[in-house]
Structure 1
């Protein structure tokens, strides 16, 4: 036995003797107990404690991220008073200062029964919700990709810091879609607006992983999108039907950026509303257990899965509003994103009705609510 090990053994014996009521020297006739004390169960996390006290309606609310206008989010949230939503998406464009946005977000949080996930689209370039004093200008992903990775990390930390200061808890970015070289103009949702980090999936993976890490180190939850990729489609799901990617498969190199984000413990992954025949020929991705199973099982993602916007998207116009939420959650989506606030009540009702009639679906709702709360706890939003 080493001297260190001997000292540790002697110290342990001394502690045991003291606990047994014996002197370190000249112990009396009492003997130390030989049985092992039962192990104390782990104390429930804050998320678990919170989930345990939520009724079904409140659990359902955690699964909804509803749009409110960034120009007046307080009034938009007040109109949702009958639906206890878990998240808000501030949509539109704002020239308000950091101080003004900070005050508005503080009012939102003060009015909420539980802390809200407050999200914006702050990718950069053409997609930057907050543009007022204090937020600066964020370049497009294509421009960001030209920076050496250490510079990209430093720049992302600065951009995310502006959001953190304003109380924004989640950025719906970065974009992890790879657009093949020469096909940018034929790719209306991504390539036409320079939203991609490049045409080489390994290069995109390096940039996406860097951005995710830097953003989350500042305290803003990142959301990579649009799984399993919109870089090859020739239709914008927001404005038309029929967006299809016939090339993406379970071993596609274009999955690498999403895998890199998962490796960096990205908070959330947004699933697209396009169709991927090699993965599931019959369902849009956000309604597909096969697509979400690929994300969970093959890529190992255990965080929050968010749908692409199910509100004004023309690709979903043939599906009733309530069914959009139910079908997405049944497939494995945790948070249903909808820019249209008038959809909040019918979606909440449809989810609650299905859960009330189907115990297995009720378990799905509870599982997803638990993930949402755990994410809020992870980033310091939920405390007990």
Structure 2
């Protein structure tokens, strides 16, 4: 039976595409079909089962040092559509490239209907920088970044973003748009203690955080404005403490201005705090609050992009809720992507969301709309573009994809110009002659073991194809 995009989802297309902005160039496919982000998202949505749509609503953790068995299982079995790299990696970009390509191979038609993953990490700077080592700039704290000129900060953010995208990361869970008053400073455990704020006034945070949004987006990296409606007025950290409550912030507080600015600058994702806001909705943590998610983010701010939760897997703030209830309550409030750093709770969450979607048409409509928003964000950032077959053959399609990645005209012919550009990119002598040194450099760049090959072999081409699928 043919699947058709429900009218309620199709009606979101114009609003969502306008809000997210267009990174993908629109055009027509081989058969003349439109390839706008909206049409690509609609096509992906239409071929998905309910379980696959539900899977798009989860982001699970894997160590940044390698794809864990649990995370791989979540993608393959529970159709999970997004990963977050956690902990710390000090090996530079190469092992991250290998991880991203390995994860991408899991996105089969059975697992995710062929839809690639959002691969995210926390690359803020200071104490919160997951990916480090040679090839990743050591980023200073946000408080230091906030003292830089707008031009310097925007350019620096673009450089940091390019390092992430070339490592296979396509979403940064930054910038932090929380404002910590100077009178509270480091007594604010989640933000101020680590100097994660760009300044101590909403005006400074709005400007400097937006500089980061624009800089990172200019390099093709999706970004996340967090932690709405702000963690600047609390003392405890929701990750480690229950009952964290903000008694200051209101629905019209000045501290909301930085989030509005980040959205105006093009942030496609907003992350919701887990704190409770007594003067907004004293009955629910923000992530479970329809007032916060639907009323304020969707309504007051007019945001139609992707709303993500803060970590609902390990946070002590929500430990009183079962994992399934956490996921259902967030989506019921209007959220899109449930973040759980801990993949062990994912099965219970996915089962609960699927069960509620099957039983409750109103909830199912929220799941459908959320899945479409995630797919549109992916399409907007190029993730639903045509993909290479990982067949190990260095044919014209692979060479053309390689050339596009290198910023060259896509002729499909591997000439000396392409070879020199590739040699420069992987860090070897750019002499236009492909031999053992070039092969070794490419294998190191891809994070695979050197095998002593003297020229192209199917193993290396296969891994190159998998990597290029994370880039194009």
How far does residue 74 in structure 1 lie from its aligned partner after superposition?
Answer: 5.2
1:78 is aligned to 72
Aligned CA distance change for structure 1 residues 282 and 333 (closer, same or farther; 3 Å): same
TM-score (norm 2): 0.71
| Equivalent residue number for residue 315 of structure 1 | 317
2:223 paired residue number: 222
**2:281 maps to 1:286:** no
For 1:206 and 1:145, the matched residues in 2 are separated by 9
Structure 1 equivalent of residue 95 of structure 2: 100
Aligned to 1:45: 39
Which secondary structure does the structure 1 equivalent of 2:283 belong to?
strand
1:202 Cα offset (Å) = 0.5
**How much does 1:148 deviate?**
0.4
Structure 1 gap segments, 5+ residues each = 1-39
Q: 1:159: Cα distance to partner?
A: 0.6
| Residue number in structure 2 paired with 1:305 | 307
- 8 Å contact from structure 2 (residues 85, 121) kept in 1: yes
Give how far 1:346 is off.
0.8
1:358 equivalent in alignment to 2:360: yes
Aligned to 2:351: 349
Q: Deviations over 1:226-281 (max 9, x none)?
A: 00000000111011112111111121111110000111121100000001111111
Match of 1:60 in 2: 54
Q: 1: CA distance between counterparts of 2:335 and 2:356?
A: 15
SS in 1 for 2:179: coil
* CA contact 1:271–1:286 (8 Å) conserved in 2: yes
User: How many aligned positions are there?
Assistant: 345
Give the SS at the match of 1:199.
coil
TM-score, normalised via structure 1 length: 0.88
1:75, distance to aligned residue in structure 2 (A):
3.6
Q: Deviation string for 1:120-161 (max 9, x for gaps)?
A: 000000000000210120111001001001000011011111
Does the 8 Å contact 1:69/1:76 carry over to 2? no
Name the CA distance, whole Å, in 2 between partners of 1:361 and 1:205: 34
Write the distance in 1 (CA, Å) between the matches of 2:257 and 2:286: 18
**Structure 1 CA distance, aligned partners of 2:60 and 2:123?**
17
Q: After TM superposition, give the deviation of residue 112 of structure 1 in Å.
A: 1.4
CA distance change for structure 1 residues 42 and 267 in 2, over 3 Å: closer, same or farther? closer
1:376 aligns with 2:371: no
Any residues of structure 2 matched to 1:1-384 within 5 Å, and which? 45-73=39-67, 75-80=69-74, 81-113=76-108, 114-292=115-293, 293-383=295-385
* d(CA) in 2 for partners of 1:277, 1:239: 20
Instruction: Give 1:182 deviation, angstroms.
Output: 2.2
Per the TM alignment, residue 185 of structure 1 is displaced from its structure 2 partner at its CA by: 2.3
SS, match of residue 246 in structure 2: coil
* Unpaired runs of at least 5, structure 2: 1-32, 109-114, 387-472
CA distance in 2, matches of 1:248, 1:295: 15
Question: 1:271, 1:285 within 8 Å by CA — same for their partners in 2?
Answer: yes
Higher radius of gyration, 1 or 2: 1
Residue aligned with 2:308, SS: strand
CA distance in 2, matches of 1:253, 1:297: 17
- How far, CA to CA, are the matches of 1:111 and 1:275 in structure 2? 37
Deviations 1:282-330 (A, max 9, x none): 0000000001120111111110000000011000110000000000000
User: Deviation above 2 Å: which 4+ runs of structure 1?
Assistant: 40-44, 74-81
Cα RMSD (Å): 1.5
SS in 1 for 2:105: helix
Contact 2:62 2:71 in 1 (8 A): yes
Compute the displacement of 1:100 (Å): 2.1
Question: Deviation at 1:333?
Answer: 0.8
Match of 2:28 in 1: none
Change (3 A) 1:127 1:179: same
Q: Per-residue deviation at 1:204?
A: 0.6
Displacement after TM superposition at 1:76 (Å):
4.3
Structure 2: distance between partners of 1:73 and 1:125: 25
1:360 is displaced (CA, Å) by: 0.8
TM-superposed CA distance for 1:71, in Å, is 1.6
